[in-house]
Structure 1
């Protein structure tokens, strides 16, 4: 039986925009749960008295709709099925597969009795002509795979958090993995996700010829999460290893990977100078399980992996996130939302006193009064160092 996790955070957002004259766009990496979210939301609509005839669901990657090739056919198909005297709820999954789909979406949007919801697995969905055509008329809900809190909600027993955390990393945070029992099945499933992203969202869309070189760039990024890097550094490293590649090609690959939501590019912010920096970036990935799938279970930097998990959770909580520069020191994350700024330093363990002092030093050098946190996997009582709160990372992940 399918293990269904109620993605409350995203569901509440959809509920809040119900019948609001905006196109609801749910974006995110393939298989993160967008279609299932629509299933849950449709159940909610029916509980509110919405009749089946008012709900139109289309997954435009399904063979059922292969005959719908362009926006005219899409609009015509939906228009023929509308209830003329009631509100209609239209759900279009992977709508980017239809040529000039934005024209059909816009045509449905301007009808008084249509509430339109769309999903896409590529940032192309909200770029170019669509962004221009629908400017100010859509709201984007950015979806990620399961948070750690969502992941453990599927287990009746909430003990052994460390074991569950390690499984969350190794087996991946994609929701469907919870239905798979063996490592062999999980790897096969992850292989399918990776191949779909690679071929459908990157190679096909960007007309990339050298798939082996693309795989090498992906492997480099996956192996260097949390490290400052640049297109030039990647190109030089790969060329030195006998894989000659230009900086321009690396840059185009990184942009394509970002557009497919498999990686996230994080810029730097000068805390003292109060300015965004144009050099030096870090990359984090949408799912650590994909890293283990691609690189194997060789020893990884668990501090950087924890950093990756914290970064994604900050995104889930609605923060804009930057890498902080404080003089010559670095703060892992400067997190900004409508309530202000928070600073986060992430380390797997600070039991060693020298490590603790090093991690605290960069936070301590920030002279403003915004909250500062040190997140670690150490199980110690909550403690504060000169206003810097040390919190167990798992407790923090389960807090909200």
Structure 2
């Protein structure tokens, strides 16, 4: 049915067990991260399994011929017009939030045994709006932009050149990011123009229109603050002081609302702190990570690469896209970059550093002391990891030193 569709196995593998189920499959993620192509991959797989094309109903609501469908009644009429007399149907609705009140239609067809797949551009358009009406009847599959392994794999799929030096390729990936369509463009300025267009589209369609933001300059300043301070501890008071110094008058509740909008639009992800001594979550000095590093480089004139924060951001996205539960670890006055909980319930502790090597022996010792010290305060026996771009491992004190590229390519695991 669809040609030249790169299959993103990481997500297909999770959705595949539910292909024939009447549980509604909801695929969410930031705009242009590739959700539509995951739908197309699923349709291709169904056809390869012997499902007939007439059993597959595909309604892309952002495409010509479907954009005029705005009400549940119009959506149902369109679906009915595409049905025949088959015993089993697979219903795919792309950008389902374009129809206000779609839930009743989707629920009705699920009740009749249809296997339903829907996509939406951000979390609040789906989770908040359908949770009450489809309780227990849907599964959410969150999608991210391409990780480094997918980035290389997709370049190979489309016969694009790959640098033999994977470290140089990784530097390019950090700046270019993982929005799939950027791989069509061969120069950085064009890719950044495309990414800026995505952010503008998110703001216009997912934030400004639906939330009716009245003070756009303040919203844009809050967005710029988070984008420029990714991977850094966040203080609402510091942001409010910055806004006041720049002449913006606003309330803390307004700023919190704008941050929530950025989270719901999947521009940023929030990672909260967890105090290992009190075993409680802390809602202060959390960190925000970008959904794709290209967002930072596209929205800033300064394209110099800050490897430490960038690597930490990409490690966060790697962990999130592999379904780890993630917190920032507070151990007394010390901090561990990440505490992760695995699917089996076990924990692991992670420090991220661009390199453990300094300009001289003393600088190297200081770096190693900084990275190893938090682990010494942890009393349980769960594994500890340092992730860096160093080619040579530094195994000390029972800590596993992992090369980041090996981790991203699946050669190492946590």
For structure 2, the residue ranges without an aligned partner over 5 or more in a row are 358-363
Asked if structure 1 preserves the Cα contact closer than 8 Å seen for 2:162 and 2:169, the reply is no
SS, match of residue 73 in structure 1 = helix
Q: Following the alignment from structure 1 to structure 2, what is the Cα–Cα distance between the partners of residues 129 and 150?
A: 31
Residue in 1 aligned with 2:139?
A: 139
Q: Following the alignment from structure 1 to structure 2, what is the Cα–Cα distance between the partners of residues 244 and 3?
A: 51
Asked if structure 1 preserves the Cα contact closer than 8 Å seen for 2:325 and 2:342, the reply is yes
For structure 1, the residue ranges without an aligned partner over 5 or more in a row are none
Q: Following the alignment from structure 2 to structure 1, what is the Cα–Cα distance between the partners of residues 85 and 4?
A: 37
Match status 1:208 vs 2:213: yes
Q: Which moved more, 1:244-253 or 1:259-268?
A: 244-253
Match status 1:391 vs 2:402: yes
Q: Following the alignment from structure 1 to structure 2, what is the Cα–Cα distance between the partners of residues 225 and 129?
A: 29
Q: Following the alignment from structure 1 to structure 2, what is the Cα–Cα distance between the partners of residues 230 and 87?
A: 53
Match status 1:118 vs 2:130: no
Q: 1:367 aligns with which of 340, 355, 379?
A: 379
Asked if structure 2 preserves the Cα contact closer than 8 Å seen for 1:3 and 1:176, the reply is no
SS, match of residue 276 in structure 1 = strand
SS, match of residue 65 in structure 1 = coil
Q: Following the alignment from structure 1 to structure 2, what is the Cα–Cα distance between the partners of residues 94 and 69?
A: 12
Q: 1:236 aligns with which of 238, 241, 259?
A: 241
Once the 2 structures are TM-superposed, how far is the Cα of residue 132 of structure 1 from its aligned partner?
1.0
Asked if structure 2 preserves the Cα contact closer than 8 Å seen for 1:169 and 1:288, the reply is yes
Q: Following the alignment from structure 2 to structure 1, what is the Cα–Cα distance between the partners of residues 50 and 313?
A: 42
Residue in 1 aligned with 2:168?
A: 163
Residue in 1 aligned with 2:262?
A: 257
User: Aligned-residue CA RMSD in angstroms?
Assistant: 1.6
Once the 2 structures are TM-superposed, how far is the Cα of residue 233 of structure 1 from its aligned partner?
2.4
Residue in 2 aligned with 1:54?
A: 55
Residue in 1 aligned with 2:295?
A: 290
SS, match of residue 383 in structure 1 = coil
Once the 2 structures are TM-superposed, how far is the Cα of residue 31 of structure 1 from its aligned partner?
0.6
Q: Which moved more, 1:205-214 or 1:2-11?
A: 2-11
Once the 2 structures are TM-superposed, how far is the Cα of residue 230 of structure 1 from its aligned partner?
3.2
Once the 2 structures are TM-superposed, how far is the Cα of residue 354 of structure 1 from its aligned partner?
0.3
Q: Following the alignment from structure 2 to structure 1, what is the Cα–Cα distance between the partners of residues 263 and 278?
A: 28
Listed as ranges, the matches of 1:33-52 within 5 Å are 33-52=34-53
Q: Following the alignment from structure 2 to structure 1, what is the Cα–Cα distance between the partners of residues 251 and 205?
A: 24
Change (3 A) 1:177 1:88: same
Once the 2 structures are TM-superposed, how far is the Cα of residue 355 of structure 1 from its aligned partner?
0.8
Asked if structure 2 preserves the Cα contact closer than 8 Å seen for 1:32 and 1:145, the reply is yes
Residue in 2 aligned with 1:320?
A: 325
Deviation digits for residues 242-264 of structure 1 (CA, Å, limit 9, x no counterpart):
33332111111111111111100
Change (3 A) 1:129 1:179: closer
Q: Following the alignment from structure 1 to structure 2, what is the Cα–Cα distance between the partners of residues 278 and 30?
A: 28
Asked if structure 1 preserves the Cα contact closer than 8 Å seen for 2:56 and 2:89, the reply is yes
Give the 4+ runs in structure 1 shifted more than 6 A.
none
Match status 1:95 vs 2:96: yes
Asked if structure 2 preserves the Cα contact closer than 8 Å seen for 1:75 and 1:108, the reply is no
Once the 2 structures are TM-superposed, how far is the Cα of residue 183 of structure 1 from its aligned partner?
2.2
Once the 2 structures are TM-superposed, how far is the Cα of residue 109 of structure 1 from its aligned partner?
1.0
Residue in 1 aligned with 2:368?
A: 356
Deviation digits for residues 37-87 of structure 1 (CA, Å, limit 9, x no counterpart):
111111111111111111111121223222211112112211232233321
Residues paired across the two proteins, number:
397
Change (3 A) 1:231 1:60: farther
Residue in 1 aligned with 2:360?
A: none
Once the 2 structures are TM-superposed, how far is the Cα of residue 129 of structure 1 from its aligned partner?
4.3
SS, match of residue 243 in structure 2 = helix
Q: Following the alignment from structure 1 to structure 2, what is the Cα–Cα distance between the partners of residues 168 and 3?
A: 22
Residue in 2 aligned with 1:302?
A: 307
Asked if structure 1 preserves the Cα contact closer than 8 Å seen for 2:193 and 2:298, the reply is no
Change (3 A) 1:274 1:96: same
Q: Following the alignment from structure 1 to structure 2, what is the Cα–Cα distance between the partners of residues 357 and 52?
A: 61
Q: Following the alignment from structure 1 to structure 2, what is the Cα–Cα distance between the partners of residues 278 and 194?
A: 27
Q: Which moved more, 1:15-24 or 1:60-69?
A: 60-69
> TM-score, normalization: structure 2?
0.92
Q: Which moved more, 1:118-127 or 1:352-361?
A: 118-127
